[in-house]
Structure 1
Amino acid sequence: MTNGIIFDMDGLLVDSEKVYYQANRMAAHTMGFELTADDQHAILGTTDQYMRQYFETKLGSTDKMTQFIALSYAKVEEVVQNDGVAIKPGLVELLDYCDDQGIDRVIASSNFRNMVDDFMQSTGLRTRFDRIVTGDEVTHSKPNPEIFLKALDQLALPAARALVLEDSPNGVLAASRANIPVIMIPDMVAPTAITNQQTLATVANLAEVIPFLKK
């Protein structure tokens, strides 16, 4: 029986991964290098610190990394202001079901607290979540399980009675390492054979999680 759900945010609650990818590509183009799909996949679900380390290695310079990150964040604001950001399909149905059934919930996002708050406010989701754990509050990024263990503490539940919802392989692996059941709702990265072994299921949208909660 599931009494609490731990939600990732980027690519799971809101369609933000595409925003980041577009912003990162625009920043990379400005600086004259190519940002590949493999680069984007490598940083999905990780913290700002991990992303900085990744691009410092890729660009071979702390200064270039700092310039790229600053440009990327500026481009994110530009993209969101111009195009907005959508919530993911099936989310409202799932949250309504949780309300009806008294299923607790918490967000566990590797993003900054201010970014999470901004996305929650701009999409109208802030009132649907009382508790949030962010990348600012952990030492290790996904696939380390630290953020999910902190979220589990917020729920005050044993791992077997909680459920993680994730869109990325890094997040799925982190949940698996925390011994918390996990369902994957893929966004920009398709599940692999290994990912499939780590999940209860892979579903197309958040509403399709509801039948698993009824079991």
Structure 2
Amino acid sequence: MMIEQKEAVIFDLDGTMTDSMWIWEEIDQDFFRQQGLPMPEHLHEEIEGMSFTETAQYFIRKYQLSKNVEEVKELWNRIALDKYIHETTLKPGLDEFLQLLKKQHIKIGIATSNSRLLLDAFLDARNLTGCIDAITTSCDVNKGKPEPDVYLKTAEKLAVSPQHCLVFEDIPMGILAGKRAGMTVCAVEDDYSALLRAEKYRLADYYITDYRQVLDHTYEDLRGFK
């Protein structure tokens, strides 16, 4: 069983716990339109894995924005907040999986590149705050994904050694971060990263399209193909 001998499960947020990546497509389009700039063709490949702060710094530097980091982050938070509260949905089977983890006394953490404001709003709106044992954003550590910092910090907060942690991630940079932290990683299907599916298969230990596959043991075990 995937969670056998695991003491903690750590989730990424966007694309992993919730279908939310479409929000950032809309926000970026609006943002660049407001700045009078064309939408870059490969923007999301360039910023994949960056923390909220690192992304703001990247935008300011590359597009010579007159705003400072906090102003850019505040703008993104303001535009996205209502969407995270009312329009994002849980990944299929996640609620049942969280209940199983609680029943088996397996600790639950979140390690996200998103802002703490949006994460807290998302959790509060779905009554999930009480079931999360530790939260770290990439802004809380020195470097964002694919560096392992955010996962190692979350494991430290949970008081669980990395080898006893199972990570769920939806993009290659996040999978790399979990692997570099010395953790087992399950890749999660997401429409946003569909073109990266082969890379996700190459990097991850397991693969799911629905969290109920963990419960009924129908997930894909990729370890024998490495």
Instruction: Within 5 Å, give how 1:143-162 maps onto structure 2.
Output: 143-162=146-165
Distance 1:54 1:209, change over 3 A: farther
**What secondary structure does 1:105 align onto?**
strand
Tell whether the 8 Å contact from 2:8 to 2:160 is kept in structure 1 after alignment: yes
How far is 1:192 from its partner? 4.7
Deviations 1:107-155 (A, max 9, x none): 1112222222111112222122132112332111111100101111123
Q: Following the alignment from structure 2 to structure 1, what is the Cα–Cα distance between the partners of residues 122 and 13?
A: 9
Q: Following the alignment from structure 1 to structure 2, what is the Cα–Cα distance between the partners of residues 146 and 7?
A: 14
> Quick one: which amino acid aligns to residue 28 of structure 1?
F
Q: Would you say how many aligned residue pairs link Structure 1 and Structure 2? A: 212
Is 1:182 matched up with 2:185? yes
2:132 to 129, 132, 136: 129
> Quick one: which amino acid aligns to residue 203 of structure 2?
Q
> Quick one: which amino acid aligns to residue 156 of structure 2?
D
Question: What is the CA RMSD across the aligned residues, in angstroms?
Answer: 2.6
Q: Which runs of 5+ in 1 are unaligned?
A: none
Identity among equivalent pairs (%): 27
Matched residue, 2:94:
91
Tell whether the 8 Å contact from 1:107 to 1:133 is kept in structure 2 after alignment: yes
> Quick one: which amino acid aligns to residue 146 of structure 2?
P
Structure 1 window deviating more from structure 2 (131-140 vs 184-193): it is 184-193
More helix by share: 1
2:56 to 36, 52, 55: 52
Tell whether the 8 Å contact from 1:113 to 1:135 is kept in structure 2 after alignment: no
> Quick one: which amino acid aligns to residue 47 of structure 1?
S
Q: TM-score, normalized by length of structure 1? A: 0.85
Q: TM-score, normalized by length of structure 2? A: 0.81
Distance 1:53 1:29, change over 3 A: same
Structure 1 window deviating more from structure 2 (158-167 vs 10-19): it is 10-19
Matched residue, 2:206:
201
Q: Which runs of 5+ in 2 are unaligned?
A: 222-226
Q: Following the alignment from structure 1 to structure 2, what is the Cα–Cα distance between the partners of residues 36 and 209?
A: 38
Q: Following the alignment from structure 2 to structure 1, what is the Cα–Cα distance between the partners of residues 102 and 218?
A: 16
Tell whether the 8 Å contact from 1:167 to 1:185 is kept in structure 2 after alignment: yes
